[in-house]
Copies of this chain bind each other. A is one copy, B any other.
Amino acid sequence: MKHPPLLSAALLLTCFAAPAPSRASAPALAPTEIVAAAPAADWAAIAPSDLLVMDLAPDARGTARRVVIQLLPAPFSQGWIGNIRALAAAKWWDGTAVNRVQDGYVVQWGDPDGEDKAKAKPLPAGLTKVDAANYAASSSQVRPLVADAIAHEALGTPHPNTPVYVKDAYADTTLFWKGWPIGTDGEKMWPLHCYAAVGVGRDYPPDTGSGAELYTVIGQAPRQLDRNIAVVGRVIEGMENLSSLPRGTGDIGFYKTAEERTPILSIRIGSDVPGLPRYEYLSAESESFARYADARANRRDAFYIRPAGGVDICNVPVPVRRVQ
């Protein structure tokens, strides 16, 4: 028998880096297998109006390069996201470029002349200046959820579908909420700088960035940026079109010459892109997600000899798929 029966609730212990349960007699499902077997009801639609679609110039072989970004829901970063919607509507990014690729850190795009006030491309009127207080939101909506999950953990009966992760170097508690990895300290909650997260470049404080300058994470999660800079979304398709770009050889990965930059043809909100596929994410409240998260923390499939007994939340990427 290749696949064992469904995992029992006792295997859902994903936090506290607890000792791994003993292995079943047959190898368990790998995370990708759990995701492939998830029923349709466990998938949640992503509204096209919550997508940002970036088309880069074709590569050297003429292959199109598209990057699809999912924007964060309220209450996170909505001031910047409003600006991003306005910039896309104004077609402001068309003709800008990817200007910086720093290995193991970030890829950044926007106006190549943005640093030079005399040459910078004017921003559309009406953008909001957002306060740094908005790097985090009130955690009142997740507080009962976290308390309940932690109470379950304390009793040794993990909450069936809210895995929480407390062995995190940066936040008291991390968890998934509405399909996003977030951190919380009891008072506030904030989105995390995991691989493929998209954030808003800014100047020195008190500047918080307009949203015209964006970046994505291409290495180890730079969680020191949490609450120091606005996270606005994550790349859900085409990440390789950014992560495999040549690294810049200038300071902090900026390209030294204009020729090295990758031109941006357009950036649009998904509902304005004809023929865009529909996307879904695996609901973080579903049983499938709980089993997937558990399997990421305790690999029991055939390749592994020792389940880790814990996982960094950034090593539990939320599965996203095109609707068939």
Residues of A within 8 A of B (CB): 17, 60, 101, 103-104, 132, 165, 167-172, 194-196, 204-205, 218-224, 226-228, 239-240, 243-247, 296-297, 299, 302-306, 308-312, 314-315, 317
Contacts and interface: CB of A to CB of B under 8 A. Distances in A.
Contacts of A297: 169, 224
Contacts of A222: 315
SS class, residues of chain A in contact with chain B:
loop
A104 B196 contact: yes
B311 A227 contact: no
Contact of A169 (B103, B219, B311): B311
A308 B195 contact: no
Interface centre among A165, A172, A223 (most CB of B within 10 A): A223
A226 B184 CA distance: 28
A125 to B, nearest CB: 28
A317 B101 CA distance: 18
A281 to B, nearest CB: 17
A243 B103 contact: yes
17 contacts: A17-B170, A17-B171, A167-B168, A169-B315, A170-B311, A205-B303, A219-B219, A219-B220, A220-B220, A224-B297, A224-B304, A224-B311, A228-B299, A228-B305, A228-B306, A244-B246, A244-B247
Contact of A308 (B226, B243, B310): B226
Contact of A204 (B167, B171, B299, B303): B303
Contacts of A311: 169-170, 224
